[in-house]
């Protein structure tokens, strides 16, 4: 249940003002068919919302509180794929904590249902503890607002199920990554951690990561950095790969934070 109707109205009014001022559509504007016209875009500020969770009421902006944060959604409690995913995230909690990432899940049922489901999740993945909050979104208000619906998977009433969205927000509360999987495909949380490593390297060290990069592999100097700036920034040095064009744009450097 989303609470604080007055606060929500104020925020909505501010978002409308912002939308008309900047010429951008409001994220999550409903198209009337129950699916959102507008998904969050990279660089968008996280929507501000207050929601009931398995760990009490959470104000999302306060929850982020200068940290990295991941919000990921699920179609429904007591469904098989979701059960495996929430267990995997429970197991990976030390990895998220190591990276300073706050974790928040969402599923379209009430808190009582979530709490009963957690027992199944922890029984299915005994090494996991669901120590992170799960948002209750039984009316799919947030799912619609975020544009995380899967029109191909519908409930008995023909309403689209919530897709498997992954949003990573930076400490500035801006969207750094979004991935949207259909309800029927379970996510790979190794990949989610890999992407968070890449995002944090870019944010802190001005490097990009090449195809199939994994932690410890060489990184790439971002194109915006001159050779002089790169030499000053990367004490371990960098190598420039020769290519037929003669352009010096492929520059490799050891991962800077190890
Ligand atoms: C699942 O979590 O198993 C699931 C949910 C919705 C559609 C298909 C699968």
Q: Of 20-24, 115-119, 206-210, which range is least confident?
A: 20-24
Residue 75 confidence class, pLDDT cut points 50, 70, 90: very high
Distance, in Å, from the CA atom of 90 to the CA atom of 28, rounded to the nearest integer, reads 29
The CA distances from residue 150 to 67, 81, 132, 215, in Å, are: 29, 15, 25, 32
Residue 163 confidence class, pLDDT cut points 50, 70, 90: very high
Instruction: Please give the average per-residue pLDDT across 138-167, as a whole number.
Output: 90
Closest residue CA from atom 6 of ligand 1: 183
Residues above pLDDT 90, as percent of the chain: 77
Distance, in Å, from the CA atom of 24 to the CA atom of 122, rounded to the nearest integer, reads 43
Catalytic annotation, residues: 82
- What domains are there in the chain, each with its CATH number? 42-187 (3.40.30.10), 205-253 (3.30.1020.10)
Which residue's structure tokens are 């129950």?
34
Statement: residue 34 has pLDDT above 80: no
Which of 78, 183, 185 to mutate to test ligand 1, by most ligand atoms within 8 A of the CB atom? 183
pTM of the model: 0.85
Q: How far is the CA of 60 from the centre of ligand 1 (A)?
A: 26
Distance, in Å, from the CA atom of 83 to the CA atom of 121, rounded to the nearest integer, reads 5
Instruction: Please give the average per-residue pLDDT across 203-231, as a whole number.
Output: 96
Q: What pLDDT score was predicted for residue 72?
A: 98
Nearest one of 53, 108, 104 to 78, comparing CA atoms: 108
Q: What residues pair up with 51 in beta bridges, in sequence order?
A: 2, 58
Nearest one of 111, 104, 97, 89 to 59, comparing CA atoms: 104
Distance, in Å, from the CA atom of 195 to the CA atom of 192, rounded to the nearest integer, reads 5
Decide if 250 contacts 244 (C-beta within 8 A): no
Nearest one of 81, 147, 126, 77 to 106, comparing CA atoms: 77
Say yes or no: CB of residue 81 within 6 Å of ligand 1.
yes
Where does the chain have alpha helices with state H? 5-22, 60-64, 80-98, 111-124, 141-146, 189-205, 227-233
Distance, in Å, from the CA atom of 162 to the CA atom of 149, rounded to the nearest integer, reads 4
Statement: residue 16 has pLDDT above 90: no
Decide if 108 contacts 137 (C-beta within 8 A): yes
How many degrees, rounded to 5, is the angle at CA 41 between CA 80 and CA 155?
Answer: 30
Q: What pLDDT score was predicted for residue 38?
A: 61
Statement: residue 24 has pLDDT above 60: no
| DSSP single-letter state for residue 52 | E
Statement: residue 222 has pLDDT above 80: yes
On average, the pLDDT of the chain sits at: 88
Q: What pLDDT score was predicted for residue 155?
A: 87
Q: Of 9-23, 91-105, 222-236, which range is least confident?
A: 9-23
Q: Which atom of ligand 1 is nearest to the CA of 80?
A: 3
Which of 74, 82, 140 to mutate to test ligand 1, by most ligand atoms within 8 A of the CB atom? 82
Say yes or no: CB of residue 163 within 6 Å of ligand 1.
no
Distance, in Å, from the CA atom of 253 to the CA atom of 78, rounded to the nearest integer, reads 46
- Cα diameter, the chain: 63
Statement: residue 17 has pLDDT above 80: no
Say yes or no: CB of residue 184 within 6 Å of ligand 1.
yes
The CA distances from residue 217 to 161, 211, 213, in Å, are: 38, 11, 6
Say yes or no: CB of residue 28 within 6 Å of ligand 1.
no
Q: What pLDDT score was predicted for residue 42?
A: 97
Say yes or no: CB of residue 76 within 6 Å of ligand 1.
yes
Say yes or no: CB of residue 161 within 6 Å of ligand 1.
yes
Q: How far is the CA of 162 from the centre of ligand 1 (A)?
A: 10
Q: How far is the CA of 198 from the centre of ligand 1 (A)?
A: 29
Instruction: Please give the average per-residue pLDDT across 38-60, as a whole number.
Output: 94
pLDDT digits (tens, 9 = 90+) for 223-255: 999 999 999 999 999 999 999 999 999 999 999
| Strand 251-253 to 239-240 pairing | antiparallel
Q: How far is the CA of 82 from the centre of ligand 1 (A)?
A: 7
pLDDT digits (tens, 9 = 90+) for 119-147: 999 999 999 999 999 999 999 999 999 98
Statement: residue 217 has pLDDT above 50: yes
Instruction: Please give the average per-residue pLDDT across 174-198, as a whole number.
Output: 96
Q: How far is CA 199 from the centre of its chain?
A: 12
Instruction: Please give the average per-residue pLDDT across 153-166, as a whole number.
Output: 90
Q: Of 20-29, 82-91, 152-161, which range is least confident?
A: 20-29
């Amino acid at each position: 249940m989303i609470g604080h109707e007055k606060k929500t109205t104020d925020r909505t009014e501010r978002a409308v003002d912002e939308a008309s001022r900047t010429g951008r559509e409001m994220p999550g504007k409903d198209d009337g068919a129950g699916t959102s016209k507008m998904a969050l875009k990279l660089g968008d500020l996280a929507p501000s919302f207050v929601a009931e969770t398995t760990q009490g009421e959470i104000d999302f902006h306060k929850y982020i509180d200068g940290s990295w944060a991941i919000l990921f959604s699920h179609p429904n409690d007591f469904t098989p794929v979701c059960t495996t995913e929430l267990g995997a995230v429970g197991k990976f909690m030390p990895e998220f904590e190591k990276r300073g990432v706050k974790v928040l899940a969402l599923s379209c049922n009430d808190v009582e249902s979530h709490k009963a489901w957690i027992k199944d999740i922890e029984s299915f993945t005994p090494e996991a503890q669901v120590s992170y909050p799960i948002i209750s979104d039984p009316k799919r208000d947030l799912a619609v607002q975020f544009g995380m619906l899967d029109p191909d998977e519908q409930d008995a009433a023909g309403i689209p199920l919530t897709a498997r969205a992954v949003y990573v927000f930076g400490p500035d509360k801006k969207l750094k990554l979004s991935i949207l999987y259909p309800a029927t495909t379970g996510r790979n949380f190794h990949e989610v951690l890999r992407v968070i490593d890449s995002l944090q390297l870019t944010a802190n060290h001005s490097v990009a990561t090449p195809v199939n990069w994994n932690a410890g592999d060489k990184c790439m100097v971002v194109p915006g950095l001159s050779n002089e700036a790169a030499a000053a920034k990367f004490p371990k040095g960098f190598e420039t790969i020769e290519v037929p064009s003669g352009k010096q744009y492929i520059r490799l450097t050891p991962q800077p934070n190890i």
